[in-house]
Structure 1
């Protein structure tokens, strides 16, 4: 059975420049992806200032509920809390959600981060989904990646299908090898190197410490940093792409990744 997924840091539903509301256009753009499951970061659960300032273009609902609409269920993991609101990660799914849990992995008081773990049912088979947004500092990211690995080992049975997606802020690509070796996951762009010619030679050279080039997703206007990832286990990767262009550059500072997976 196939499943289409997307990961997207939506920048709290405002534009990268000028902080103009983009949440209505975001909802329309998400619909064009036609994903079964959306892994979203920087989702605004509440923002009293924006709601008061932009009453006509700011939904009365929490962003995760607004974006889910009637077609998807929404689960929200609240991470950062402040006087006028809060934000965090969210998972939207048109497949049944069996359970959810949000784990605090904040490394210091200035960056609130979490791992949102949801179990969805695909063809009556539990699939463990993890929405992540790691910190801006290398030491904290390493500790949060270790917490992610432990969370998956503790919550997903060996061999169970797993999808881990989000904003890893890992521009130096230091975290992937630990995830691959300890969890048995594959990043959806790992197989972009051709299997013939020079690509075949590169594959033979690629050892345990080799760094594979991930998709460039930041900044959305002219992406050159590889911040956003989708790691999977128990799936074959049919397709994966980064959505570029003027539309996506207006909506957020990150470009989204969409992938189609085939359950093994």
Structure 2
């Protein structure tokens, strides 16, 4: 029986800037992400276009940030830029070493400048007997709006993904109150990697002194192997969020 490990990572990129927007560090982010060995990246606040910043920073890539990061070894990617403004746009992206199928995205925000969206794709790792659904989300910081978005998210997951299909739901839930899991429909059968492995959610924000459990990796239909929150170097000098990483055991 062939066994393979699937590694996933979720990260709020802060549009490629270090905490406080002092330095543009997208190149350093790419190197750090590559070192994690992740097969799938769930990325939030990833910049699609920003004309003023492109002129200001000499190291700003000619391509979108999703395309720039994908060049390091994730051959398949999808970017959804739902936060739109005069200078450009940003949003969410999924990068994968496996081909992405059935890609969809949904704007969860009621305002066009807010980066609150969902990206959904399917991958078919050889060692998994059925397709694996991937959903990347970024929810609102304001409680009443975040609760509304949870209702939309629950409805989408229940309607669009078979109840018995393997699923990884990851992203920035802005869950500073620690109540995100309570808002997910029990019928989804989701578990959170840190809650399962350590009994508590990982503190991811701010990265220099993490106190808030803003980010999550939920899953079902997979065997959790390990989970890690990167708060050491070089991560504390990159985004204002710490990334979450998890590995799952797949059997053919």
Q: TM-score surpassing 0.5? A: yes
Aligned equivalent of 1:111, options 98, 107, 114: 114
Aligned partner of 2:125 in structure 1 is: 122
Say if 2:17 is the partner of 1:20. Answer: no
Tell me the C-alpha RMSD between the 2 structures.
1.6
User: 1-side partners of 2:113 and 2:15: how far apart?
Assistant: 17
Which has more radius of gyration?
1
Say if 2:32 is the partner of 1:29. Answer: yes
2:189 and 2:220 in contact (8 A); partners too: yes
TM-score (norm 2): 0.92
1:220 and 1:249 in contact (8 A); partners too: yes
Query: Deviations along 1:74-98, whole A, 9 cap, x unmatched?
Result: 1001110111110000000001211
Q: 1:159 to 1:101 in 2, by over 3 A?
A: same
User: 1-side partners of 2:188 and 2:158: how far apart?
Assistant: 7
Segments of 5+ residues of structure 2 without an aligned counterpart are none
Map 1:49-198 → 2, pairs under 5 A: 49-55=52-58, 57-69=59-71, 71-72=73-74, 73-108=76-111, 111-123=114-126, 125-179=130-184, 181-193=186-198
Cα deviation for residue 228 of structure 1 reads 0.4
1:11 and 1:43 in contact (8 A); partners too: yes
Cα deviation for residue 107 of structure 1 reads 3.7
Say if 2:218 is the partner of 1:231. Answer: yes
> After TM superposition, which residue ranges in structure 1, 4 or more long, deviate above 3 angstroms?
107-110
User: 2-side partners of 1:96 and 1:15: how far apart?
Assistant: 31
Aligned partner of 2:238 in structure 1 is: 251
TM-score (norm 1): 0.88
User: 2-side partners of 1:29 and 1:179: how far apart?
Assistant: 31
User: 2-side partners of 1:171 and 1:133: how far apart?
Assistant: 13
Cα deviation for residue 109 of structure 1 reads 5.3
User: 2-side partners of 1:147 and 1:52: how far apart?
Assistant: 38
Cα deviation for residue 223 of structure 1 reads 0.5
User: 1-side partners of 2:165 and 2:250: how far apart?
Assistant: 11
- Find the residue that maps to 1:231 and give its secondary structure: strand
2:85 and 2:113 in contact (8 A); partners too: no
Query: Deviations along 1:157-177, whole A, 9 cap, x unmatched?
Result: 121000000000111122203
User: 2-side partners of 1:59 and 1:183: how far apart?
Assistant: 39
User: 2-side partners of 1:251 and 1:70: how far apart?
Assistant: 18
Question: Which segment is superposed worse, 69-78 or 249-258?
Answer: 69-78
Query: Deviations along 1:41-86, whole A, 9 cap, x unmatched?
Result: 000001111110112x111110000001052111001110111110
Segments of 5+ residues of structure 1 without an aligned counterpart are 194-211
1:128 and 1:162 in contact (8 A); partners too: yes
